[in-house]
Amino acid sequence: MSATMVQLIGYAGSILVVLSFMMRRIVPLRLVSVAGAIVTAVYGLFIQAWPVLITNLVIVGIHAWHLYREFTTSHEFGLVPVEVDAPFLIDFLNAHISDIRKSQPDFTVNLPNDVAYVYMRDGMPAGALLGSQQDDRLNVHLDYVLPAFRDSRLGRWLYESGGSRQLRAAGLREIAARAGTDTHRRFLESMGFVADGDRFVRRL
Structure confidence by residue, pLDDT tens digits, 172-189: 999 999 998 998 898 899
Provide the CATH number for the domain around residue 123: 3.40.630.30
Q: How confident is the model at residue 152, as a pLDDT?
A: 61
At 60, is the pLDDT very low, low, confident or very high (cuts 50, 70, 90)?
A: very high
| Residue that terminates a domain, selected from 72, 89, 106 | 72
DSSP 85-152: T-HHHHHHHHHTHHHHHHH-TT--TTS--SEEEEEEETTEEEEEEEEEEETTEEEEEEEEE-GGGTTS
Question: Hey, how many other C-beta atoms are within 10 angstroms of the C-beta on 190?
Answer: 11
Give dist(CA 17, CA 4) in Å, integer: 20
Domain that residue 55 falls in: 3-72
Residue 157 pLDDT exceeds 90:
no
Calculate mean pLDDT across residues 192-199. Answer: 91
Instruction: Identify the domain boundary among 55, 72, 89.
Output: 72
